DNA sequence: CTGAAAGCGCTTACAG
DNA sequence: CTGAAAGCGCTTACAG
């Protein structure tokens, strides 16, 4: 892409009458350059419209000032696009303020499936992982953790230890949501879980159990079903659950998308939300507020999550032997209308 | 970031007992390498877990297999995040299928404001521009057009000629929307325009005028107001317009976000939508379908737009002296409930 | 404070 | 078909 017309460091050296090394030092702000020399070099550089070649520099310094992002783009995953959109914005803001750009891995033609290889190939300084589905449990990720600063956002497989991640405080938030239902008088609550590999998914189930136990209610594993964060799957599972079990009065879904699927299923079953069945989601997507009925759900601080992940990554990059860091971002229940105001007895 | 343990091309040469040049040629699939030699090299490379260094290669080939994206991230701009989210997905899919990754420019610490410099610094092979507000008219962009494959998405300033861009067929779609209002009996229609620099914004105003003229209705420039694609501004302008002018029965907004602002203003004015005032938006955001009332709006094919932009860019990269290309993607009116079914007379 | 030299990991004429 | 050499544009010891 470079025009023949572009000046390089040698052109500057020639024009300024100094050596290439001196130019390099002046440009990089080294202190062992006479002030007058530095100024001369800087002026000439400006005049020649000089631009450093990041490839040449990176070849030596092994630094690219770029952070990589892998993101799984399965539709209807826990990380649907509205979610991703906030994350990328916050990562862009945070990394950008620190002088970094963002590389989104997209190339589908690569011969390798090694995350580490791919990162090395592009020379990123660190990487943020936003994975979905089976990607999360891919053994190939392990060597990435070990060789490059890596931070997960909410998509860690529970089989990896000692990895850096930021997540919502899923357990606490899920328990809060279920307690809300219990306080409204519900005792038989269908749990529409995500999958059984993501820690986030797992924690939301644990929160559900914890709230039931706290109130002396039985945990019935038949009422915990796994919808893979998919609206369609949630639709089917809800239909099946309501035909198999009597007396369910509420649904706690591990994502808003699944909650939408569940509500559709309930309607097709002739059940009204919230009059007959209460539904709570998880995520607080933009559309959930506008949904009919407005969805009661757990708000995840998406911007905050991305920002925190980027900050941790930046620290890790600056400090190679940094310790493993996990951040749990508070998530809180937003009460709207999908649970009605049903009171105990 | 590179571990000391990583094999390079010299290690392969040594292990395979051939020269570095031969390794390079074998790795790059050159035909003038004996088949047996090639296989040997490839095997050794695999064994050593060899990864090509993209920096070193790029330094020579001037190719990075990366396309850059500048995107303006002003909230409430025509390109709100839901919009950006579809674009990035389609660009990722399309560029990824062709073997490219995506670099999102984020670094705020750069000393230069030259788009060209920034692109050169990172070595991208081409760039997609998704700009907002004043960015679009920045004179600094001109040298970018001239030195690097560049494609705009819907954000061209009308002061630049001979640039590649993809846009919705804004004029046609706007005219269609206004005709719909006219057919419902509206004759005095407030035009909530975007800004006066973007071509897209301009074309939507032209479509509005064209439809009025076609039906012999007067174009009153006082009824065309500029809301900068901002919800807040739209709120204010709508309030002001309705207090200054009598007899307005419909609003045609150049974005859904502005339509939301307008509807809020109308409610505060004690006017009902659609019973008293009809409102049409532009964009078809995810939330518009769920809005109360569900918004009649022009659907932009966001995925298609990103895909087309990426395809054009890829062509431009492969064919340096390609001709300027503009693509106009059809956009169609989605009739929902915000215009009611008011009939002529 | 300055500069000559080596080298980062690769590709590309060129000679054989 | 193969290899020695030059070079992409930069940085970094090192010597002065």
B319 plus B229 within the same structural domain: no
Whether A61 is covered by a domain: the verdict is: no
**Which ranges of chain B have pLDDT less than 50?**
1-4, 76-79, 342-345
B306 plus B259 within the same structural domain: no
Q: Chain B contact for A85, CB < 8 A?
A: yes
Nearest to A96 among B2, B108, B290 (CB): B108
- Give the model's pLDDT for residue B340: 86
- Give the model's pLDDT for residue B104: 94
Residue B78: name the closest of B189, B204, B179 by CA. Answer: B204
A209 plus A291 within the same structural domain: yes
Give the mutation candidate from A104, A114, A132, A302 for the B interface (greatest B CB count, under 10 A): A104
Residue A146: name the closest of A129, A132, A163, A167 by CA. Answer: A163
At B222 the three-state DSSP class reads helix
A142 plus A193 within the same structural domain: no
CA A40 to CA A14: how far, in whole Å? 12
B95: which 2 tokens?
Answer: 């560029």
- Asked if strand C contacts B44 at the CB level, meaning under 7 A, the answer is no
CA B251 to CA B242: how far, in whole Å? 10
Beta strands per DSSP E along A218-309: 224-226, 250-253, 278-283, 296-299
CA distances from B84 to A135, A209, B73, B201, B223 (A): 24, 38, 9, 17, 30
Kindly state the percentage of chain A with pLDDT values over 70.
94
Kindly state the percentage of chain A with pLDDT values over 90.
60
Provide the domain count of chain B. Answer: 3
B102 plus B188 within the same structural domain: no
Whether B199 is covered by a domain: the verdict is: yes
CA B309 to CA B166: how far, in whole Å? 6
- The mean predicted confidence, pLDDT, of chain A is 89
Q: Which residues contact B264 (CB under 8 A, 6 or more apart)?
A: B235
Residue position matching structure tokens 């990720």 = A141
Q: What is the mean pLDDT of residues A220-227?
A: 96
Whether A90 is covered by a domain: the verdict is: yes
- Separation between the CA of A23 and the C1’ of D15 (whole angstroms): 18
Structural domain range at position B204: 170-301
CA A279 to CA A266: how far, in whole Å? 10
Residue B91: name the closest of B119, B148, B129 by CA. Answer: B129
B112 plus B205 within the same structural domain: no
- Give the model's pLDDT for residue A344: 35
Q: Sign (positive/negative) of CA torsion B31, B32, B38, B41? A: negative
Whichever domain contains A19, its CATH number is: 1.10.260.40
CA B327 to CA B163: how far, in whole Å? 11
A221 plus A288 within the same structural domain: yes
- Asked if strand C contacts B24 at the CB level, meaning under 7 A, the answer is yes
B248 plus B181 within the same structural domain: yes
Whether A58 is covered by a domain: the verdict is: no
Question: Pairing relation of β-strands A332-334 and A296-299?
Answer: antiparallel
Residue position matching structure tokens 């990562």 = A91
**Residues of chain A with C-beta less than 8 angstroms from the C-beta of B121:** 51-54
Whether A335 is covered by a domain: the verdict is: no
Cα angle: B309, vertex B310, B311; to 5 degrees: 90
Q: Which residues contact B84 (CB under 8 A, 6 or more apart)?
A: A85, B71, B73, B130
- Half-sphere exposure of residue B339: CA atoms within 13 angstroms, side-chain side: 27
Whether B137 is covered by a domain: the verdict is: yes
CA B155 to CA B78: how far, in whole Å? 9
Q: Closest-CA residue in chain A for B92? A: A106
- Give the model's pLDDT for residue A172: 97
Q: Sign (positive/negative) of CA torsion B17, B19, B20, B25? A: negative
Whichever domain contains A133, its CATH number is: 3.40.50.2300
CA B20 to CA B2: how far, in whole Å? 20
A41 plus A150 within the same structural domain: no
B296 plus B243 within the same structural domain: yes
Whether B59 is covered by a domain: the verdict is: no
More confident residue, B196 or A14: A14
Whether B82 is covered by a domain: the verdict is: yes
Per-residue model confidence as pLDDT tens digits over A276-323: 999 999 999 878 887 889 999 999 999 999 999 999 999 999 886 678
Per-residue model confidence as pLDDT tens digits over A134-159: 788 888 888 888 888 999 998 888 78
- Give the model's pLDDT for residue B332: 95
More confident residue, A331 or B199: A331
Q: Chain B contact for A121, CB < 8 A?
A: yes
- Separation between the CA of A240 and the C1’ of C5 (whole angstroms): 76
Nearest to B101 among A49, A62, A103 (CB): A103
Residue A12: count of CB within 10 angstroms of its CB:
26
- Give the model's pLDDT for residue A261: 94
Helix/strand/coil percent split, chain A, to 5: 45, 15, 40
B174 plus B284 within the same structural domain: yes
Residue A162: count of CB within 10 angstroms of its CB:
8
- Give the model's pLDDT for residue A269: 96
- Give the model's pLDDT for residue B343: 38
A192 plus A279 within the same structural domain: yes
């Amino acid at each position: 892409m470079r025009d023949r017309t572009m000046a390089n460091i040698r052109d500057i050296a020639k024009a300024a009458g100094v050596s290439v090394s001196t130019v390099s030092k002046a440009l990089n702000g080294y202190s062992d350059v006479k002030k007058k020399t530095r100024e001369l070099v800087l002026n000439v550089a400006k005049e020649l419209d000089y631009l450093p070649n990041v490839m040449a520099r990176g070849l030596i310094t092994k630094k690219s000032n770029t952070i990589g992002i892998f993101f799984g783009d399965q539709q209807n995953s826990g990380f649907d696009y509205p979610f991703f959109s906030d994350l990328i914005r916050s990562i862009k803001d945070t990394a950008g303020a620190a002088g970094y750009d963002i590389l989104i891995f997209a190339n589908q033609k690569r011969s390798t499936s090694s995350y580490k290889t791919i990162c090395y190939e592009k020379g990123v300084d660190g990487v943020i992982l936003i994975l979905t589905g089976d990607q999360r449990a891919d053994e190939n990720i392990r060597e990435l953790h070990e060789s490059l600063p890596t931070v997960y956002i909410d998509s860690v497989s529970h089989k990896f230890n000692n990895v850096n991640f930021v997540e919502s405080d899923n357990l606490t938030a899920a328990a809060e949501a279920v307690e809300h239902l219990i306080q409204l008088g519900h005792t038989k609550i269908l749990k529409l879980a995500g999958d059984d590999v993501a820690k986030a998914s797992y924690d939301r189930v644990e929160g559900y159990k914890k709230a039931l136990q706290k109130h002396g209610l039985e945990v019935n594993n038949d009422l915990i079903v796994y919808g893979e964060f998919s609206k369609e799957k949630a639709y089917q599972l809800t239909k099946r659950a309501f035909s198999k079990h009597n007396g369910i009065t509420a649904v706690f879904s591990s994502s808003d998308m699944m909650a939408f699927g569940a509500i559709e299923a309930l309607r097709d079953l002739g059940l009204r939300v919230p009059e007959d069945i209460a539904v709570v989601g998880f995520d607080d997507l933009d559309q959930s507020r506008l949904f009919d009925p407005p969805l009661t759900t757990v708000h995840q601080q998406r911007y905050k999550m991305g920002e925190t992940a980027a900050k941790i990554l930046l620290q890790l990059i600056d400090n190679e032997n940094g310790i493993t860091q996990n951040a749990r971002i508070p998530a809180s229940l937003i009460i709207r209308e999908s649970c009605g105001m049903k009171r105990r007895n």
